[in-house]
Amino acid sequence: MKQLNPSVQPHLHRIVIVGGGAGGLELATRLGQSLGKRGQAQVILIDAALTHIWKPLLHEVAAGTINSYEDELNYFAHASKHHFEFHLGRMCDIDREQKQVVLEPLSNGESVVIAPERRVRYDTLVVAVGSTSNDFGTAGARENCIFLDARPQADRFQREFLSLYLQAQARSLSDQNPQFLNIAIIGAGATGVELAAELHHAAHELPRYGLTSIDPRNVNITLIEAAERILPGLPPQTSHTAERELKKMGINVMTSRRVVAISPDGIECDGDIHIPANLKVWSAGIKAPDFLKNIAGLETNRINQLVVGPSLQTTLDADIFAMGDCASYIPEGETRPIPPRAQVANQQSILLAKSMKARLNGQPLPHFKFTDKGSLVSLSQKNSVGNLMGDINVQGIIARLMYVSLYRLHQVAIHGFFKTAVLMTKDLLSRSSGPRLKLH
């Protein structure tokens, strides 16, 4: 078993962050720019992918309304500019006695092992591996649905979506009958709602590029939710506004409907309801990755999240912190954990950057207090809905501009203001000169 041995001085306090999602990458960047740049600590980021894309953008990647290759960030390049190290690998265990993260063997994607199992020593470990979809054991879900947990899955959906149009175009040469496309989305949280709206937009854009074999009116999008309303985690008024807008688009919204099985040709719901579907997406519920369940004897909950206290330290090991979707923290006086949202990961990365500096100086660690700034849900290119500070409802172009600004704030956190301004200019130029959809 190989021990990774980076070239930085071994006596430096080593902070290892596992997971390069929004929170993990922002934390690594902040610590690299402060502790790493000044030589006060060695900062290491580990992720199973070579590149990062902001997870709330995955529904746009799936619909083809953004090109994931243009919006991705390369971890190696970013690390070299921001004074931390990056290691490619997937964590499979933690050796708490030796204070080492265990990485599974690294393959090239074709079952060829290019590096054996490795170990990375840590003084402080931050687990930020995010979440995956929870199919609740529904029959046929894994075999017949696409999950939008990572960019490869979103890319796969985009390819299959486009392939159905190409197949319909080929059939239309000999078959003059109308061509139909049926899409079912299970789960009407933010991802499901945003994907439904984005697919509706894509269906109306594709004919502009000659893919006229499927009339946009024949693209049937069904959104299925087991709760009484869509967006059940948001205020009722936001849910009702979003549902009204989706129905205006012609999207079929089904609430209080439980999916019992999924077959290659459709969805089976309670009440003996069958929904035909060429494409099926599962976006109902989340859980932390399965390998976290009781990892290294640490306390986890029923959805595999590491249980943490107010300082975000795990309950059984003060040298291990957890943040974002893979962490469960119930504030004092509350009965439910803080919800897994992007703004939570952002606020936790800010807190942990301060915590790491306090830890090096032997000072007490600050406690996490979540400030809910509201939620925004995209309804495609020109509309969004949401609420601010809990009771201010917003909708339309203003809400859309605020939604877009969330991504820009993430870019500012990892790139700074100047480079973000350059990226914004690049995006404006590329979208005005190129196709509005990814067509390959």
Res. 390: pLDDT tops 80: no
Q: Is residue 232 included in any domain, yes or no?
A: yes
Q: Is residue 438 included in any domain, yes or no?
A: no
Res. 57: pLDDT tops 70: yes
Query: Domain holding 54: CATH number?
Result: 3.50.50.60
Same domain, 211 and 92: no
Same domain, 116 and 232: no
Which residue, 347, 373, 399, sits at the end of a domain?
373
Instruction: Output the pTM of the full model.
Output: 0.92
Over residues 244-300, the pLDDT tens digits come to 999 999 999 999 999 999 999 999 999 999 999 999 999 999 999 999 999 999 999
Same domain, 25 and 45: yes
Q: Is residue 389 included in any domain, yes or no?
A: yes
Same domain, 349 and 380: no
SS3 68: helix
Same domain, 293 and 196: no
So what's the pLDDT on residue 3? Answer: 55
DSSP secondary structure, 285-343, as one string: -EE--GGGTTGGG--B-TTSPEEB-TTSEETTEEEEEE-GGGEE---TT-SSPPP--HH
Burial of 14 (0-12, 13-18, 19+ CB in 10 A): buried
Taking residues 4-27, report their average pLDDT: 82
Query: Domain holding 178: CATH number?
Result: 3.50.50.100
Same domain, 368 and 382: no
Res. 2: pLDDT tops 60: no
Same domain, 256 and 396: yes
Q: Is residue 136 included in any domain, yes or no?
A: no
Q: What is the mean pLDDT of the chain?
A: 91
So what's the pLDDT on residue 10? Answer: 55
So what's the pLDDT on residue 434? Answer: 62
- Specify the residue for token string 């509309």: 383
Q: Please compute, for residue 244, the number of CA atoms within 13 A of its CA located in the half-sphere on the CB side.
A: 11
Over residues 73-89, the pLDDT tens digits come to 999 999 999 999 999 99
Q: Which of 23, 86, 101 is nearest to 49 (CA)?
A: 86
Taking residues 201-222, report their average pLDDT: 93
Over residues 135-150, the pLDDT tens digits come to 999 999 999 999 999 9
Same domain, 338 and 420: no
Same domain, 390 and 353: no
Same domain, 40 and 117: yes
Residue ranges making up the domain that contains 84? 2-131+288-373
So what's the pLDDT on residue 262? Answer: 97
Q: Is residue 440 included in any domain, yes or no?
A: no
Which residue, 354, 373, 392, sits at the end of a domain?
373
